[in-house]
Amino acid sequence: MAVPSVGDDRGWLSVVEAGQTVPFPIRRVFYMHGMTAERGGHAHRDTDQLVVCVSGSLRLDLTDGRDRMSVRLADPAQGLFIPAMVFIDIRDIAPGAVCLVLASTHYDMSRSIRSYEAFLEAVAQP
């Protein structure tokens, strides 16, 4: 999804607003930087997220348990909406990359699924 951006001779300003750009109320904002290894390896039971690589690049490998997709983020004016119950792996992280995440819930580790096998079991349940 495009992050609305306005540019002039001074540079760019990109804006993300709850209820406007992001289809959920923002309860948490965090960013990852200085990453030296792959990240992710989990799914959130009830958290929607908007992920933006604000500097550098990285690849998100995603699955809902049936379909898979890989998305390369390398443009700070592009974000990826990730709904709840999507398993996320972050790979191919460029040195110096900074990844911003806006989340619909406060962090609660008990609401995360930390293994792919447990995720597959969870999505198989009606």
Catalytic residues: 42
Residue 107, C-beta contacts closer than 8 angstroms, at least 6 positions apart: 28
Spatial separation of the C-alpha atoms in residues 116 and 101, rounded to whole Å: 21
Contact 11, 97 (CB under 8 A): no
